[in-house]
Amino acid sequence: MMRQMTAPELWMGLFALALTLSLTMAEHMDQKPALQTSPVLHRHKREWLWNNLYVEEERPTYFQYYLGKLKSTKSGDRTHYVIDGEGANTIFKVDDKGDIFVTERLDREVKSKYHLRAQLLDTSNNLVEKVEEFVILVTDINDNDPVFTKSFNASIKERSKRGTKVIEVTATDADDPTTANGELDYKLLEGGDFFNIDSTTGIITTKYENLDRETQSSYVVVVQAQDLRGLKQGGTATTSVTIAVSDINDNIATFSKSSYVFSVKEDMKRGQRIDTMVLEDRDEIQNKDPIFTIAPSSDTFKMERSQIKDGNLMLKQGLDYETKSSYTFFVHVRENHLQSPADNKDNPLIKAQVTIQVLDVDEQPEFSKSIYNFNVIEEMMVNNIGVVSARDPDQANKAIRYSIEDKDSPIGINPITGQLFTVRKLDRELVANHMFQVKAKEEPNGLESFVNVNILVIDINDNKPELSIEEIFVCENDMAGTVIGTISATDKDDHLLAFSFTLAKPNANFSVIDNNDNTSNIVLKHGGFSLEDSRDYVIEIGISDGGRPPMSSITSLPINVCRCDNKRIHTQCKAAQLKMGVSVHALIVILVCILIILVIVILIAMRKRHQKDALVTLGKSEIHEQLVTYDEEGGGEMDTNGYDVSILTSARNDGSMSMRQGPSLYAMVKKPPTACKGDMAVMIEVKKDEADHDRDEIPYDTLHIYGYEGPESLAGSLSSLDSSSTGSNLDYDFLNDWGPRFRTLAELYGVDGSERSDSPY
C-alpha cells in the first residue's frame, strides 16, 4: 500500500542515502587495500573488504539502483565476481567489478534480511578467493498502522478500590518494534471519567471507588493505540471495550408495605402456603440473602424463603375458627453477608405487621384418634369391643351417625354410640387381623369422614396338635433299642410349644421316648422282623400340646419293614397297610363316580337290546341293503361309516340270515398253476379260509391290507364280506383288460363257464 511519506520517513530515507554515498566515495578514493590494516580485518584474517549492506524498504525501482560493492585484495582485471543465495541474480545483481544493484521493491515486514555468498573467479571460472557470506539488511520505514486483533470485554465488581485492574488491551504493529515505527502509545478517547489506562502496557484500571451497579451497570471506553511513540505523525487504531459492573450485596431487602392482612380458611392443611410477602431488593437475586423471623414466636405460623427469595408465610399447625378467629404478629427481615454501608441504609422497611383472619367452614367430623386398635378373643361373641368416637368441630355440633362400609365385615357398630361388637365368631387361624373403615357422617345429610380400625384376634388353644413325620421303617437286622425314627408335631395355635408324646395303646414291638424338646424317638423293643412276615405294624401316637386348656390327638403311625444294608439304608420294603378314614367330601365324590358308571352301563345294555330287537324285524331285503351300502373305497375294513357290521354279525349269530348251500365264492376261484403260486398267494388262501369259517369276526380284507387295491381304484370292493355266499353276480374277468398289474387278480377271481351256470343269480 503506497501512501505519502511523513517527515520521519523522509529523514530516515535521507540518512540511508547519505550512508550509501559515503560507502561509494570510500570505494573510489583509494584502490589500495588500506583497510587491511584495520583491526577488524586482521582479527578475521580475510581478504574480502566490506561491511553489512543496507537497503531501504519500499524504495521505488523504476530502474535498478546501486546498493554497494564487493571488494577483495585479490581482484584484478582477470577476475570477476559471482553471488548466490537469497535473492541472488533476481533481486540482487552483481557485475564483474563487484557492484551490487537492487532490481525490486523490498518489504521489511515480509523479509528483513537476505543471506548471500560472494565468490571471486578468474577467467577460467576458478575460485580465486574463498567463498564469503554477507548479509543485506532491509531498513524499516513507518508504513504500517497499529491493529487491534480482537475485541475486549471485561467486568469489575461495584465498589472496587481505586486502581483495580480491569483489563489489558494490546495492539500490534508490523513495523520494526526496535524503532519508533513499532513502538505504541495507548490512551482513552472515551471513558476517562471512571477509568485510567497505562500508555505503555494498555492496562485499564478504575479511577474512583464509586462504581455502583444499581446506578450504571456497564461502561464503554474507547482506546486508541498510536505508533511513533504517540507522535502526531504516527499511525493510529481504536477499539471499544465494554466493562460490566458486577453486583454485590450492598442493598438491604425491604418489605413493600408495612402491614399485611390475610384471610385463611380454618380447614387449610398444615404445611400449605398462606401467601407471599414480596421483598424489594435492588441487588441481583444471587446476592439477595434475606432472613425472616416472626415476633413474637409462633407455633401456628412460620416463614420460609421462596425460590426467588421472597417470604412465604406457611401454616405450621391447623386452625380452628371456633377456638381462635384471628392472629396478629410481626415479621422481621434482615440481610445476611451485607456489604456495609448499604446503599439504602436510611430508614429501610424491615418490619411488617401481619394479621390473619380465620374463616369459618363446614368441617368434616373429627375422630378422637387417627387409628383405632382393639383386641378380640377368637371363638367368642363380644358385645363391647370398644368405642369409636367422632364429633362435629363446627359450632352447630351436629349429631354423628356411624357405619361400616364393608358389608361382609365380622364386626358391627352401633350407629349412635359407635360401640363395636362381633357379628360372628372370629377364628385366628383363618384371619389373624381384621382391618376395616368406620364412617362418621353428620346428621342428617352432612359431611362424612373415615377412620381405620384394626382388630387383632387373640388366640386360644382350640386346635389339636398334628403329627409331623416323613417315613419310619424297621430293618430286618435292627436290634432291640434301635431308634428307628424321630417324630415331631405342629400346632396351628399361637402359644409356646410344649409337645409331649406317648403310646395311646401298649405295643409289644415299639416304644416312644420323649426327648423333652418337642420331639420323641421311636425305639425298637426287640429284633427279628422279616419281609416274609405278612403282619403290618401300626402304633398309636398320643400328642399333647401343653396349652391352656391342653389339646391332644391320637395318630396312627404305620411302620414299614425293610431290608437294609450296613448303613441302615433300605433297599427293599413292604408297605404297611394304612388305616385311613374317608372324609365326607371324598365319600360324595366316590358315590357320584359310581352312579355315573352305572348309568353308562345301563345305557349301553339298552342300546344292545334295541339293536337285537330291530334285527329280528328286518327282512332279507333290509339285510341285503346293509351289505350293499358297504363302500370299500373309503377306509377299508376300518371304515364303518358306510355300513353297520353289528347287524350283520347279529343276523348270522341268531340264524336269521340263512347260509346258502354250495361252494363259496373263494372256493370257486380259479387257482393259478402251482408253479406260479408265491408266498403271498398262499397267505391269501389261508386268510380266505379263515374268513369263510369265522362267523363272528368282521371279514378281514386281506387284499386291501396288502396293497392289491389302491385308494382310488375303480375296481370296487375286494372285501370278503360275500365270501359266505356264492350269490355274487360280480364278474372279475374284466380285470384281464386292465393290464399286467391286474392279471394275478383276474386269475384268482376268475370263474369258468360251468361254475357260472350254477349260480342262482
The CATH architecture one would assign to domain 254-359 is Sandwich (2.60)
Among 17-21, 155-159, 650-654, 665-669, which range has the highest average pLDDT?
155-159
List beta partners, residue 564: 570
Averaged pLDDT of the chain = 79
Cα 268 to the center of its chain, rounded Å = 40
Banded model confidence at residue 713, pLDDT cuts 50, 70, 90: low
CA distance 150 to 152: 7
CA distance 714 to 710: 9
Would the pLDDT of 753 be above 60? Answer: no
Would the pLDDT of 119 be above 80? Answer: yes
Mean pLDDT, residues 519-525: 89
Would the pLDDT of 110 be above 80? Answer: yes
Q: Which three cell numbers stand for residue 598?
A: 352305572
Task: List phi, psi (to 5°) of 690.
Answer: -65, -40
CA distance 682 to 650: 31
CA distance 396 to 443: 11
- CB-side exposure of 659: number of CA atoms within 13 Å? 14
CA distance 231 to 67: 31
Top-tier CATH class for 147-246: mainly beta
Going from the C-alpha of 136 to that of each of 5, 46, 118, 366, the distances in angstroms are 24, 19, 12, 108
Q: What is the pLDDT of residue 437?
A: 93
Top-tier CATH class for 466-576: mainly beta
> 366-458 has which fold?
Immunoglobulin-like (2.60.40)
Lowest mean pLDDT among 329-333, 537-541, 578-582: 578-582
Q: Which residues of 233-250 are buried (b: 16+ CB within 10 A; e: fewer)?
A: ebbbbebebebebebbbb
Q: Which three cell numbers stand for residue 723?
A: 365270501
Of 225 and 33, more confident: 225
Would the pLDDT of 535 be above 80? Answer: yes
Among 43-57, 566-580, 594-608, 660-674, which range has the highest average pLDDT?
594-608
Banded model confidence at residue 354, pLDDT cuts 50, 70, 90: very high
Would the pLDDT of 315 be above 60? Answer: yes
Banded model confidence at residue 40, pLDDT cuts 50, 70, 90: very low
Q: Do the first three CATH levels of 366-458 and 466-576 match, i.e. the same topology? A: yes
Q: What is the pLDDT of residue 574?
A: 79
- Looking up cell 486483533, which residue turns up? 149
CA distance 114 to 88: 9
Closest CA to 691 of 706, 678, 701: 701
CA distance 386 to 398: 23
The reported pTM is 0.43
Would the pLDDT of 448 be above 80? Answer: yes
pLDDT tens digits, 485-499: 888 988 887 777 788
For the chain, what are the domain ranges? 53-139, 147-246, 254-359, 366-458, 466-576
CA distance 196 to 186: 11
- CB-side exposure of 671: number of CA atoms within 13 Å? 10
The CATH architecture one would assign to domain 53-139 is Sandwich (2.60)
CA distance 288 to 250: 9
pLDDT tens digits, 255-303: 989 999 999 998 899 999 999 999 998 888 888 889 999 999 999 999 9
